[in-house]
Amino acid sequence: MSEATTQLRQLFDQVRSELDGHAGSQGQRAVGGLRSLADELRQMAASSSQQGIAGEAAHQAADRASSFADWLDGKQPGDVLDEVRSLARRRPGAFLLGAAAIGVLGGRMTRGLTAGGSGSSGHQVAGSSG
């Protein structure tokens, strides 16, 4: 029984180590994506012909994306999860609002990537005739 327990523990440790490695690499991809997004938003704000509200919003979004990437860089997935849980306990309204915003933005980005990647999605909008 002791040998089986030892083997199970070793298997568990190996799986856990692999999952931590995968989660860490995904975290680094997320940091890279956030930094790319921040750079694109800064370029958009700088090249905007109008330096009004849209340019300022793009600049602020770039700053927030960059600061979030800095915060996320080097954190372990468990640390991020602990922070999210803590935020949900301290400020449930802000947590729910943030989760909804992330869901909406993620859906729009996914839809945009899907529509942009396939060229023609095959969906047609029926127009009214008459």
Give the model's pLDDT for residue 121: 46
DSSP 122: S
> Looking at the 3D structure of the chain, how many domains does it have?
2
| Mean pLDDT confidence for 28-37 | 88
Domain membership of residue 128 (yes or no) is no
Domain membership of residue 119 (yes or no) is no
Residue 5 to residue 10: CA distance in whole angstroms: 9
Boundaries of domain holding 21: 6-75
Same domain assignment for residues 20 and 67: yes
pLDDT value at 17 more than 90: no
Domain membership of residue 13 (yes or no) is yes
Which of 87-90's residues contact partners 24+ apart within 8 Å by CB, and which partners? none
Taking only the tens place, the pLDDT of each residue in 88-123 is 999 999 999 988 988 888 788 777 777 765 554 444
Same domain assignment for residues 99 and 55: no
Same domain assignment for residues 81 and 95: yes
Give the model's pLDDT for residue 89: 94
Print burial letters for 114-127: b (CB count within 10 Å at least 16), e (below 16): eeeeeeeeeeeeee
Domain membership of residue 126 (yes or no) is no
Summary mean pLDDT of the chain = 80
DSSP letters of 18-60?
HHHHHHHHHHHHHHHHHHHHHHHHHHHHHH-S--SHHHHHHHH
Most confident listed range (5-19, 23-37, 86-100): 86-100
